[in-house]
Chains A and B, each alone.
Chain A
Amino acid sequence: MLGLVVDKSTNIVLFVYQNFTTVFISFVSVTILMWQEGGRVKSHVWRPLYVVIAFVAALLLFRFFYVPNDFGSGKRGFMYSYHRLSNEAEWKNQPAKYSTSGRERMHEYCSACHGDVVKVRTEKLHGIIPCENCHGPAFQHPEKPEKLTIDRSRGLCLRCHTNLPYATSERHRIPGVDPKTHNTGMECVKCHNPHNPSLEGMK
């Protein structure tokens, strides 16, 4: 409770400090001046000052109730990291969709049940592609979803196997076809085995 109060008051102090330093200094100067003048100053001179003070007070009161309690800064300070601290946990608790990271660990993970399929894949060719790229996200796979939706589309293969004339890029090492002439409209998996894509392994 005390911490909450301290946080709140720090917030208000910070707010006043940022927005009203100038106003504050001029207020104090004017007050001192007026105090020095004593009773000679008439009440209508004071009135605008009261209006401003009431406005600032109302603003601070509104802010006190509107801004969440856990606003604060991280180690990057007020300029870069003034935020609602509980939001970090909110982001951390977002559900993941794709499963184990790294292609090595993914093989390990998938081969626990699908060992026969994973073994077929040769490390030299499609073995570098994580299973989930084609088979879909599988973070909670055996339970939810029970069956993955496999992307067998032509477009998936053409991501890498469209022939692009870029001799200086790594792309030229991947065999490519011209999608406009190579068996247009057919799914690649009708002839090619995606797990063993060498031409000897053709269906």
Chain B
Amino acid sequence: MERLEFLQKCILVIVGASVPVSALTLIDPKKVFAKNPDIQWAFLVDTNKCVGCGFCVKACKTENDVPFEANVSRTWVERYVYTKDDKRYVDSPKAALNGFPESRIDLGRGEYKEIDKTNVGKAFFVPKLCNHCSSPACTQVCPVGATYKTDDGVVLVDRTWCIGCGYCIMACPYAARFFHPITKVVDKCTFCYHRLSKGLDSACVNACPFKARRMGNIHDKNDPITKIIMNERVGVLKDEFGTKPQAFYIGLAQEVR
């Protein structure tokens, strides 16, 4: 074999091996459309309306069998207190399962900080949950294909397939994932996928008396949530991570991350 011929064959092999498999599979458009009803679930949080009652956390834990005693939760509420001498405090005692029944700030490790009434500059509450990102870091890193993004925009965990390596917990910039103390695998907010498919709102949206939490189909232009996201000033958390979060916040402050 001539050297030229050998090189030509080598190049052919390399080019052939670098053709993506997806380019070789045939796509049936009908199949694709049948699989993708045009739904993309998005969440809208109005932080101005939240009073920190924690009914959402209670409802979520009840609906999704996350033990009350365990210090983990699929959703939680954070309290931000800014003092007049320019200090900032954030806490979320027991993920705000019982709301905020005390005015003192939970600093963790059993330490508390009582802030003088006259010293409080501004304070507000921010509900948090999984952002169900468009480009989720957590599903990218899963080594076994146990967590994934559904076609309608929800990030789920396959409990039977998860090996509990915790890589996704590390990858999530929002700390939305945790180990479930009973199932012993990773658990996270599912947007109450079982409720959405039954035509119900998620448990937290359902429980919120102040409509601080709402959910809608961002692909539907007439959806009231979509209208708000399109027309009003909303923000997302940690935009710089490039995960394209699908939980939108009205009234975000710089300190809320």
- Closest-by-CB residue of A relative to B200 is A101
A28 to B77, CA, bound (A): 58
Q: How far is the CB of A46 from chain B (nearest CB, A)?
A: 19
A82 to B200, CA, bound (A): 27
A103 to B59, CA, bound (A): 14
> B103 to A87, Cβ gap below 8 A?
no
> B101 to A36, Cβ gap below 8 A?
no
Give the size category of B's interface with A: 35 or more
- Total A-B Cβ pairs within 8 A: 183
> B200 to A100, Cβ gap below 8 A?
yes
Contacts of B112 in A (CB 8 A): none
Given contacts A87-B160, A133-B59, contact A76 B151 (CB under 8 A): yes
Q: How many residues of A contact B (CB 8 A)?
A: 61
Binary contact readout B234-245 vs A (1 if CB under 8 angstroms, 0 otherwise) = 000000000000
> B194 to A83, Cβ gap below 8 A?
no
Contacts of A155 in B (CB 8 A): 98, 101
> B207 to A98, Cβ gap below 8 A?
yes
Query: Does A96 have its Cβ within 8 Å of any Cβ on chain B?
Result: yes
Query: Does A47 have its Cβ within 8 Å of any Cβ on chain B?
Result: no
A76 to B139, CA, bound (A): 11
Binary contact readout B1-35 vs A (1 if CB under 8 angstroms, 0 otherwise) = 10000100110011001101110010000001001
Q: How far is the CB of B26 from chain A (nearest CB, A)?
A: 11
> B51 to A21, Cβ gap below 8 A?
no
- Taking CB atoms and an 8 Å cut-off, the chain B residues in 105-119 that contact chain A are 117
Query: Does B185 have its Cβ within 8 Å of any Cβ on chain A?
Result: no
Interface 9-residue window, one of B141-149, B167-175, B225-233: B141-149
> B55 to A133, Cβ gap below 8 A?
yes
> B6 to A32, Cβ gap below 8 A?
yes
Contacts of B71 in A (CB 8 A): none
Interface 9-residue window, one of A53-61, A167-175, A184-192: A167-175
> B10 to A162, Cβ gap below 8 A?
no
> B10 to A130, Cβ gap below 8 A?
no
Binary contact readout B209-236 vs A (1 if CB under 8 angstroms, 0 otherwise) = 1100000000000000000000000000
> A32 to B9, Cβ gap below 8 A?
yes
Contacts of A81 in B (CB 8 A): 139, 148-151
> B148 to A74, Cβ gap below 8 A?
yes
- Closest-by-CB residue of B relative to A6 is B25
- Taking CB atoms and an 8 Å cut-off, the chain A residues in 94-115 that contact chain B are 94-103, 106
Write 14 A-B pairs (CB below 8 A) sorted by A numbering: A10-B21, A32-B1, A36-B6, A80-B139, A82-B148, A88-B193, A97-B63, A98-B59, A98-B195, A100-B200, A103-B209, A132-B206, A155-B101, A169-B123
Q: A-side interface residues toward B, CB under 8 Å? A: 10, 13-14, 17, 21, 24-25, 28-29, 32, 36, 71, 74-84, 87-88, 91-103, 106, 128-130, 132-133, 137, 155, 158-160, 162-171, 174, 179
- Which 5 A-B pairs give the minimum distances between C-beta atoms? A101-B201, A159-B99, A83-B148, A94-B194, A166-B123
- Knowing that A101-B200, A133-B58, A171-B125 are A-B contacts, what are 19 other residue pairs whose CB atoms are under 8 Å apart, sorted by A's residue number? A10-B21, A36-B6, A75-B151, A76-B148, A80-B135, A81-B139, A81-B149, A82-B148, A87-B160, A87-B161, A91-B190, A91-B194, A92-B197, A96-B194, A130-B209, A155-B101, A159-B100, A162-B99, A164-B100
